[in-house]
Structure 1
Amino acid sequence: MNTTLRVDEPREILALVPYQLGFRPTRSVVLVSLRGPARRVGLVVRADLDDVADPADGPGVCAVLASHLADDGGTAAVLVVYTDRLTGPADADPQVDRALRGLRATTDVDTLDVWVVTPDAYFSPGCPDRTCCPERGRPVQDLDATQVGAQMVLAGVAVAPSREDLVRLPEVPADARARSQAAARRNRARRAHLVGDAATTAWRIEALAAWSECRAAQVATPAGAPLPPVVLGRLQAALEDVRVRDAVLVSLVPGRDALASLVVRDVAGQDTSSAVGDAVAAVVDPVAGLRPGERARTDRAILEQVASHASRRRRAPALTLLALLAWWHGDGARAASLLALVDQADPSYRLASLLRRAVDAGMPPGWAALGR
């Protein structure tokens, strides 16, 4: 969204939070960084209320949240507590009180505005003005009738009902999943019986071509219609090959299709490591950072179909690439949820472990850092 938000209106910021997270938070603490004199919205970071308010671990969680805010360079911030225990400003809750006290003590900004959102109301705790914060707060439905809400609806942006819904994969009929997994087994067996580097390279070239064909087919496919299960199964097996997966990763970056081809070809004497590093820098480097390209939505749709057709233990490559796309879009919550699914599939999957470090540290993608 390119329109500058009027951040002097608290309800606009409160309305924005679910869109920034991708889901409607519950029992959460959210910090919104406001940058510069114009108070532009910067980093939005969330933690579980139970963790922030924990007597033993809470101070450490508060310190981590505050450090993310400091790294973002915000001069002001909005602290929002989402709880289901309060009904209005007149109430009190020890857990909410601990969370507020902990973050007030650790957050070093010029201005910290504090709000509480319940299932029915929102209010600023301690506000003495009953015209601003009535005894039971303002109706939470007011947050839907905002500039932010209207812009997001017009842009077709949706918010998941919960964090769990962020990573809900497409439902697949049992027969389609069976056909897809059978195709994956055949392609996996074919790869295992290849003899010599030339045969392996030819298989990888064919695999990357299949990815490109899926992209073209997905664009031409009516919205919501799945790709053929057999095609998805072959692609699933192809992504289990690290070099093919890396080539697909590189192809996600705008303008890097030729480089992706070099990655699978592994041309003798052709050192592609530096070029691959440049492509990765386009995602993570705050100097060279690029936004995701126009094909990102297509790529996400394909990878979601691959993951949904695969058995649980075979999902790691597709889920990790989906997590990378989510993080690249600035959707750390979805990335974290997808990485949790990778853990269920393969806890030792290396690329996921590397990405998890960035997500857990609250590290923004390069383009977001570049925009500070």
Structure 2
Amino acid sequence: MTSPERLTVRGPEDILGFIPHSLGYWPANSLVAMTLQGKRLGATLRLDLPGPAVLADPAPFAETIAGYLAADEHADGTLLALFTNNGWLSGPGCYDGLLFSLEAALAGARMPVKEAWYVGDRYWRDAWCTDPACCPLPGRPLEQIRDSLLNTEMVFRGSSVGPPPEERQARTVPSLYRAAVLEAEAAWSARLDCRRQSRAQFDAVLGLWTGLLAGPREELGQPLVDRDAFLRASLLVPAWRDAVLVMAAAGQAAAAAGAEEFGNFDEEQGPEPVVFTGVVPLETGLAETEPAGAPSSTGGPPAPETLLKTGQHQGTPGYGDVLMGHEPPVPQWLTMDALDLVLGQLALLGGAPAAAALTGRGWIAWCRGRGSYSAAYYEEALEIDPGYRLAELLLELVRRGTLCGWAARKEAAWQKFGPDAA
């Protein structure tokens, strides 16, 4: 990772303008907490604002927030922003009690609240200021945040604020491309199915993924019939799907060692591996060498539950350590970013491979510290394939508030734009 470039925070408007860029969308009905490391911004945490039952006794909720933020071991302060149109209320339904509890919990965790704000659809204000000279009601116009210098600089650097995860619009694909990919995918899947336990086939599949992700970025999202069909077919084999995720974060050696540890390979001589060697342009149809037939499946991968339990093997990170973000110390973010682009393309056509691709995207989003997007991807995968086990397991982690190990450490965390804010 290169040394990040600094961004200068000049006032509250800059901090509040940074939040949507950090999350990727403008939050609503949300509590956003940001840790401070001296004068530097640290980790960003977003949660849904609690309901009346929690607000009646917000202390346990506040302690939970403090526990999450404690993952930033260098934090010595906290900033709070409540994105709600109820920030001007008093009495039942207001969030003053929640703020008091958060102040107490974070002070006890040695991360005292330095400032707190309410941000609505039209106005924003300091949560505690009652002086009409500097904090007039109903508040300052939201345009001050949208037009802040830091927000302008973010946009200049190429950062954009998209819709919330639940409002993402599905992309469409040309019908000719869809039909061609699905036809080729069925043929590749039939050919690969009897090679699930072949070490040679595993190496061929992982080698293709590795080379693709290391290639030119502009080619990753380009629709290519035969390549996309092969990749989608490979995601139907859970052992290969998991190896791709581990490879992207920790390298090919870790992926191969973990697959060996799981006992995925059959030592007996099996069919020769099928190797994808090129691409077929959309207008030319399918290659003459497309596989045909449907050999029966033999054996199978380990249950997904074991993915989060396995340890290390021969000095390389274990699958569980990688999937939880504990190892390696810093993941291969460029490769993971590339994988996210490819999985996004493969998910467009739906079906079981799309569930696998969306689950992979959800894991990458979780590794980036974007729990809302992560949950949305997992839920979309489960809509396509109810009971998809890996999506269920990882969604449970998100719902429990578990943070990815990399996201919890500043030196390992993903950086959307590269800079620190200070």
TM-score, normalised via structure 2 length: 0.71
SS, match of residue 103 in structure 1: helix
Partner of 1:351: 390
Deviation per residue, 1:87-140 (Å, 9 max, x gap): xx5x54732335435534544343342210011111013313334322221111
Please name the residue that 2:336 is paired with.
296
Distance 1:112 1:243 in 2: 47
Q: Distance in 1 between matches of 2:201 and 2:119?
A: 54
Whether contact under 8 Å (1:34, 1:42) holds in the other structure is: yes
Contact 1:330 1:364 in 2 (8 A): yes
Contact 1:324-1:355 at 8 Å conserved across structures: yes
CA drift at 1:57: 8.3
Cα contact 1:30–1:80 (8 A) shared by 2: yes
Partner of 1:64 in structure 2?
Answer: 64
Q: What do residues 46-71 of structure 1 show as CA deviations (whole Å, max 9, x unaligned)?
A: 22224477457855443322321234
Distance in structure 1 (CA, Å) of the matches to 2:201 and 2:45: 43
Q: Residue 366 of structure 1: SS of its match in structure 2?
A: coil
Structure-2 residue corresponding to 1:180: 181
Deviation at 1:353, TM superposition (A): 4.2
Partner of 2:84: 83
Question: How many residues are treated as equivalent by the alignment?
Answer: 358
Q: Please list every run of 5 or more consecutive structure 1 residues that lacks an aligned counterpart in the other structure.
A: none
Structure 1 residue 238, shift from structure 2 partner: 0.7
- What corresponds to 2:304 in structure 1? none
CA distance in 2, matches of 1:138, 1:258: 55
Cα RMSD over matched residues? 3.6
- Residue 361 of structure 2 aligns with an amino acid whose one-letter code is L
Q: Distance in 2 between matches of 1:154 and 1:117?
A: 24
Note if contact 1:286-1:367 (Cα within 8 Å) is conserved in structure 2.
no
Q: Which position in structure 1 is the counterpart of 2:129? A: 127
1:337 aligns with 2:332: no
Identity of matched residues, % = 25
2:23 matches 1:25: no
Where does residue 307 of structure 1 map in the other structure? Answer: 347
Distance in structure 1 (CA, Å) of the matches to 2:29 and 2:217:
39
Mean CA deviation greater in 203-212 or 156-165: 203-212
| Structure 1 counterpart SS, 2:85 | coil
Q: Which residue of 1 aligns with 2:301?
A: none
Between 257-266 and 2-11, report the one with greater CA deviation. Answer: 257-266
Deviates more, 1:54-63 or 1:171-180: 54-63
Per-residue CA deviations over 1:230-261 (Å, capped at 9, x if unaligned) read 4323211211212211321232126x235546
| Cα distance, 1:205–1:288 mapped onto 2, change above 3 Å | closer
Q: Is residue 204 of structure 1 aligned with residue 202 of structure 2? A: yes
Structure 2: segments with no counterpart, 5+ residues: 268-310, 413-422
Secondary structure of the corresponding residue to residue 191 of structure 2: helix
1:191-236 CA distance string (max 9 Å, x none)? 34x2795xx4444344334434644676353x8x632234323211
Pairing 1:81-120 to 2, within 5 Å after superposition: 81-85=82-86, 92=90, 94-97=92-95, 98-108=97-107, 109-120=111-122
Paired with 1:286 and 1:298, the residues of 2 have a C-alpha distance of 21
Of 215, 240, 246, the residue aligned with 1:244 is: 240
Residues 181 and 60 from structure 1, CA distance in 2 versus in 1: closer, same or farther, beyond 3 angstroms? farther
Residues 150-169 of structure 1 aligned to structure 2 (within 5 Å): 150-165=152-167, 168-169=169-170
Shift of 1:152: 1.7
* DSSP 3-state at the match of 1:46: strand
- Residue number in structure 2 paired with 1:143: 145
Distance 1:196 1:244 in 2: 8
Aligned mates of 1:51, 1:147 — CA distance in 2: 35
What SS does structure 2 have at the residue aligned with 1:30? Answer: strand
Give the TM-score of the pair, scaled to structure 1: 0.80
With over 3 angstroms needed to count, the CA separation of the structure-2 counterparts of 1:213 and 1:57, relative to structure 1, is: farther
- The equivalences for 1:4-23 within 5 A come to 4=6, 9-23=11-25
Q: Is the 8 A contact 1:304 1:322 kept in 2?
A: yes
My pick for the range that moved more, 203-212 or 39-48, is: 203-212
